[in-house]
Structure 1
């Protein structure tokens, strides 16, 4: 990983339509790719401060999956935030590749001229394409993506804000039937896509409707963004954005590991029903964390009960073995002692296992899930005052379901 003083290794294409070969550009091959798309202008301070932790979590997870990040190479806009996020990571960092028009960036120690910006120093490689306008690098950017991912590795685009350049890149990306993750609440093109702001006759609107698109609001936190990203980068091209439900394990696990948070509704649901965008966002913020907490508690109790059942069966089997030994050995006293102990243990484990699961926790989870969909089914708020009142009522209901005694009626 280069330091701020070293800068990226610069590779220049002789022609905008040159074939991109990973080996010639000294790029890794056969890796999953995350293409970060966004504005080439600076983000506002408040928005940047909110986006940066999300990018940090995303890039840390990308590094664990040995994926490659492809962005614009210029140290401006969302690419600047990507560089800051990588610089703040501890331990392993992802490989960063940037693509930019050569007439808009200053490479090496050259001072930026008018209309130019520096290359981001945290990138490993910067591929410069002949051109003097932003957007001319987009075809080459996706040739770089193809060279790194090949035909067998997944490619996910993450859209943060964005304008005309991001729109052109998005058309190219979705036209290849590749998945897109939209970070709503970041303004620009991302909010147009997330909240139904695209025109009916817009080609991008058609691609979004027919493509594999997930929407996560910025306020929902980095965990939800990372959860969607993991499912896509772990699968092969053409996989769905939603996670398949795994069959229940035969044997209980001795060490319980809580499952990752997952969307209650499909991440692309907002695109089909934009009027529900606010309600889904509110429910994901207020209800979904409490629902996940209750579901994890219920799963933990169920795993504990299943483990006790298995131990009770084992103790029962031991009781049978010791009974057979008692019959076989006749006057020997020790099989009888072990028979009594194992029988008592089996009886105790059976009683404890019968009461091992916590029905209250499961009931709380079901109540919270019903509350989630009730909130989605309610008519849209007529004004901000009603919306704020509903948000307070929703938080109050969540607190009640989490802490008050469960009704047995």
Structure 2
């Protein structure tokens, strides 16, 4: 698509988009102290707005004797109790602010980690989301109007499929949602127009794996960016992307409700989107406050991910934004043994250890239907050797408390994000 036409169409949807984008690009030259001052002012603004227009937040601030006009908004933030998705769902109407915005967009979470959440996102908030992604593209010399592959789910109702088809046409992208050989063969034909690949991390990994296995690794001469989102990027995913496409595997981290939290630069460091969010690391968990969420204030939100953040790091790219060193998995998801419980991060550790010890890259999904038993699906034929080393690695953590059954994982058509752990208890 012509980049000028793309700019005009995107501005019709988001009048503030390109103004925000220009601001974000200018902020790349700020010092860390100046970026912190920007957050200071935006935090004060969202706290005052939330108190004045959100019945829920006014009630919470009053209940906890939180004075939002105190000199230090960061000090105020520390006093606000944590919220989670259940809180947002059960207090939905009260959290929405009683303010007349010129334009809002209805947003909805996927529901893969529990109940689905619907809310309205004010236009400026939405513009910051989109502009943050576009800024991330710019770090990799990508213009968002350029042709791309988009690995994502597809709604099966005819009406919504038609809407999605038009959206994809306007955004100059080809949507992919299956793992069939014929689809991969079609994608991996020589294509000098492909600029970037984005979408579900596990899906892009499968394409890369197929490309390497079938000697189709030089078909995209002008590919500039491969970006995964919505799912954890495992270490062996990055190795395979490098083999297949000669590029790193960039990460876009966030959620529908918290917004865009981070984006990877060309040095494989994921920078916090500081103009839009304040992210805190509390007991290893990501706690997010969105600075633009005036229609539905997201304050002290439990993102649900185990993270490690370096607030003082200096990246070779020169950006002043802090670095999210890792996103390892979900907080609070438990695997039940016969007598004990284990965090679902156990899965990450087991297969990370196997990768380091045996140089074996294994994609996996674990499903629990009964306490004391765990079905582990892997993307390779479960040979006697594989069964033995996987079982042995689990036993290091669980002894005889958990019976492991190993079977083959088959990737199929995708309508939602891939989850490495599914509890049916």
Greater C-alpha radius of gyration: 1
**TM-score (ref. length: structure 2):** 0.28
Between structures 1 and 2, the one with greater helix share: 1
Between structures 1 and 2, the one with greater strand share: 2
